[in-house]
Amino acid sequence: MLKELIDKGYYSIHDGFDNWEDAVRASVQPLIDAGAVKPAYADSIVNSVKKFGPYIVIAPDIAIPHAEDKPNVNETTLCFMKSNTPVVFDPEDHEKDARLFFVLASNDEEKHLKNLEGLMEFLSDEEFVAKLGEAKTLEEIKALL
């Protein structure tokens, strides 16, 4: 799963961010650059997090930025981002910090469900996820795949 995303250029690696909003926007940028989503999709995600809180951090260290916004999505896909410094979503709850980001974009339910299943399977190995969290460069990430 991650290998395909890297091959497609649907990933980015960063040292860190001043705030979660910049991190979320950066996580979507490769999809914007590729035309897979419109720039407004990043706004939708930011607004969703502002409205609902940091529930997109689904597990320690893992965030899944996404929004229900089919008109701004051209391709049903995932996009990976690694922040080497944890991104803080809630200063009072560091269990909501994340270094691994998997953007979800969907305009096709069936394909989206397959993507989610693939992602869940990918993330089910805790030891692997821990190693991925520590990997700081593309080479280090590739070495794990």
Nearer to other proteins (CB atom), residue 33 or residue 95? 95
Report the run of H or E that residue 75 belongs to, with start and end.
none
Using CB under 8 A, pick the residue from 6, 25, 116, 118 that binds other proteins: 116
Interaction of residue 60 with other proteins, rule CB under 8 A: yes
Residue among 81, 69, 106, 62 nearest 14 (CA) = 81
Interaction of residue 48 with other proteins, rule CB under 8 A: yes
Interaction of residue 46 with other proteins, rule CB under 8 A: no
Residues 121 and 127: their CA atoms lie apart, in Å, by: 13
CB of 139 to other proteins, least distance (A): 27
Number of H helices, E strands in the chain: 6, 5
Which of these segments, 2-10, 16-24, 55-63, 134-142, binds other proteins (CB under 8 A)?
55-63
Interaction of residue 40 with other proteins, rule CB under 8 A: no
Interaction of residue 7 with other proteins, rule CB under 8 A: no
Residues 23 and 33: their CA atoms lie apart, in Å, by: 16
Residue among 103, 139, 138, 129 nearest 31 (CA) = 103
CB of 109 to other proteins, least distance (A): 8
**Residue 87 near residue 23 (C-beta atoms within 8 A):** yes
Q: Which residues of this protein are in contact with other proteins, per CB under 8 A?
A: 48, 51-56, 58-60, 62, 64, 66-68, 95, 104, 106, 112-113, 116-117, 120, 123-124
